[in-house]
Amino acid sequence: MLQPPRSGLTPFSDDAFKLSRWSTAETLVVLDEAGDAQPALATAWEQVDPRTWRFEVRQGVTFHDGTPLTADQVAAVLTAATKASPKPRILDGVELTAQVDPAAPSEAVLVRTGDADPLVPQRLSSPQLSILAAAAYRPDGTVDPVGHGTGPFELVAVDGTVGATLDRFDGYWGERAKAAGIDVDFVPDGTARAAALRTGTADVVEAVPVSQASLLESDQVFEVPMPRTNTLYLNTERGVFKDTAMRAAARDAVQREAIVENVYEGRADVAQGLLGPALPWAAEGRPERTERPAADPAGAEIVLATFTDRAELPEVAVQLEQQLEAAGFRVRQEVREYAQIEADALAGDFDAFILSRATVLDSGDPVAYMYSDFACDGSFNIAQLCDPAIDAALRKASGTETGDARRAATLEAERLILESDAAIPMLHERVIQGESGDFSDVARDPRERRLVTAETAAR
């Protein structure tokens, strides 16, 4: 695996995704490919009123320590998540409470929010809201997942930042795991991870670097579309790109295919919109958009900025500089570490900014990302965009129930954002996963929640 635990494998942190990828900790619901909620530790749910949801807790589930899953424990875990510091990011800005249903205290949990929230089931799919046994939660606020999950594999040992061991849990409520267990090594160095696959010391490898992929056998490399888009944000509030026709000129100058080939060696997808192939419904339902006419840049000077933390972005900046200058702009680059450049980017100090941006958060829904980046009061509005029509479209999408109607409203908001040319999506990134071929049914998950599952088996 790419990264060692950063927070002792507490599910309230990003370490929760490791627990999920090892199939040891489970949530009340899971998401299907379209991002719709499906049963897991909850068998059914309903919206009782605009602010209250009722979740039926699966019966007959046993934690790895032998204690039973109960509605009381589900409510206790969700309550603990709201009090964690820091709080799981899926609960940022969300006022949530949980209690057993007094009408069926052994069977169901009532989840209430401060405001009406159609995404409650999707929120509860976040690995950061995994349900562990009561003994996992210590008085000092730490959480110990060892031996306390409900999944087909039991976490039996963790060796700090070196590795972990999991055994098949024969008391699992669902289909018994086909593999006997999982041995995990944490290997931050990408070259070393790829070498482990070449030498046969690993069966599954996370995040193979692009530079290493060509050194592996072709049948060992699998490219998984990620919900992450590499986007050029243009400053709509001041400077050269306050003019919509100049933004259109920049749009026309960007040669996406060249960036994908030259920087990503073809291992990325050319962007058609903000939302990429990790959300297959986006391409199927995307409405046509109108492109604004472009102006002649006529030597206009711009500052193009990005950061060094993602190795590809400075290379993307070099390619973009050449393309923009070929179109008639004069370009000066500014490249720093992300921690030293974020505040200036958010303040609108640059004409253009290159960002690799996750387009869905833990709920599996892209509306929060779009609101954050493109609403007048968005907290991450690098483009300084403020358009009443876009705000109205985002409010409509936010308030629409999940399913086809919400997806259509989301794509309408995307259309308006793209027509503004405030953001020029260039490519959608992929994660490269390595597999030895000795095991079948290893999950290839765009959301990086699943990896080794009950179905994973030796060939």
Beta bridge partners of residue 42, listed in sequence order = 57
**What pLDDT is recorded for position 389?**
98
**What pLDDT is recorded for position 287?**
94
CA distance 368 to 51: 19
User: Which residues are CB-contacts of 395 (< 8 A; sequence separation ≥ 6)?
Assistant: none
Burial 362-376 (b: 16+ CB within 10 A, else e): bbbbbbbbbbbbbbe
Q: Is there a cis peptide before residue 86, judged by omega within 30 degrees of 0? A: yes
pTM reported for the whole predicted model = 0.84
- Calculate the average pLDDT of the chain: 95
41 burial (CB, 10 Å; 0-12 / 13-18 / 19+) is buried
Domains in the chain with CATH codes: 16-185 (3.40.190.10), 225-430 (3.10.105.10)
pLDDT digits (tens, 9 = 90+) for 228-249: 999 999 999 999 999 999 999 9
Return the C-alpha torsion angle 281, 283, 287, 290, nearest 10. Answer: 150
What would the two tokens of residue 98 be? 């949980």
Please, what sign has the CA dihedral across residues 84, 89, 93, 95? negative
> Stretch 322-334: mean pLDDT, rounded?
98
CA distance 344 to 59: 52
Has residue 439 got a pLDDT over 90?
A: yes
Has residue 86 got a pLDDT over 90?
A: no
- Comparing CA positions, the residue from 39, 26, 40, 56 lying closest to residue 133 is 26
Beta bridge partners of residue 182, listed in sequence order = 166
**What pLDDT is recorded for position 390?**
98
Has residue 430 got a pLDDT over 80?
A: yes
Do the beta carbons of residue 80 and residue 137 sit within 8 Å? Answer: yes
105 burial (CB, 10 Å; 0-12 / 13-18 / 19+) is middle
- As a whole number of angstroms, the longest Cα–Cα distance in the chain is 72
pLDDT digits (tens, 9 = 90+) for 266-294: 999 999 999 999 998 999 889 999 999 99
What would the two tokens of residue 332 be? 């000066």
What would the two tokens of residue 173 be? 């409520």
pLDDT digits (tens, 9 = 90+) for 38-66: 999 999 999 999 999 999 999 999 999 99
Rg (CA), the chain: 23
Do the beta carbons of residue 341 and residue 391 sit within 8 Å? Answer: no
**What pLDDT is recorded for position 176?**
96
**What pLDDT is recorded for position 293?**
96
Has residue 365 got a pLDDT over 90?
A: no
**What pLDDT is recorded for position 10?**
93
**What pLDDT is recorded for position 150?**
98
- Name the least confident of 141-150, 206-215, 405-414: 206-215
Has residue 85 got a pLDDT over 90?
A: no
- Looking at per-residue pLDDT, the higher value among 311 and 304 belongs to 304
How many Cβ atoms sit within 10 Å of the Cβ of residue 233?
Answer: 26
